Amino acid sequence: MDTALKAIADPKRREILRLVWTSELPASDIASHFHDVTRSAISQHLGVLRQANLICERRSGNRRLYRANAEEMARLRTFLDQYWTGGLDRLKTAAEAAQRKKDNEHG
């Protein structure tokens, strides 16, 4: 999970993910979308995303087609949601504990 979080912390990798979010794309198409960096750099970014299980690879003849792994993306989003709401839960339980303490003091 931490691997995925670090993977999407990079803007280029987030852009790559958006490219393959809806449509499956060959590595060359993905690479040609970035004009400030080499094809090799993009290939390595794809490797990072692959290792984080955020993209799936399918070989078709000469090409390798990539698409976002919606399942893992969803898991990551859930993790982040739980992290956020987890804070609220802590607030809630803290408030409840304070209330109990207050009640005990009054009882």
Distances from the Cα of 98 to the Cα of 57, 87, 88, 92, angstroms: 52, 16, 15, 10
Exactly one of 43, 78, 93, 99 binds DNA (CB under 7 A); which one? 43
- Sequence-distant (6+) residues with CB within 8 A of 17 are 8, 49, 54, 55, 68, 73
28 binds, among DNA, its own copies, none (CB under 5 to 8 A by kind): DNA
Out of 18, 33, 39, 101, the only residue in the binding site for its own copies (CB under 8 A) is: 18
- Residue for token pair 């949601």: 81
| Short-list 55, 39, 43, CA closest to 4 | 55
Closest approach of DNA to the CB of residue 74, in Å: 23
Query: Does 47 contact its own copies by CB under 8 A?
Result: no
- Residue 14 is a binding residue for its own copies (CB under 8 A): yes
Would you tell me which residues interact with DNA (CB under 7 A)?
6, 10, 12, 26-29, 31, 36-41, 43-48, 57, 61-65
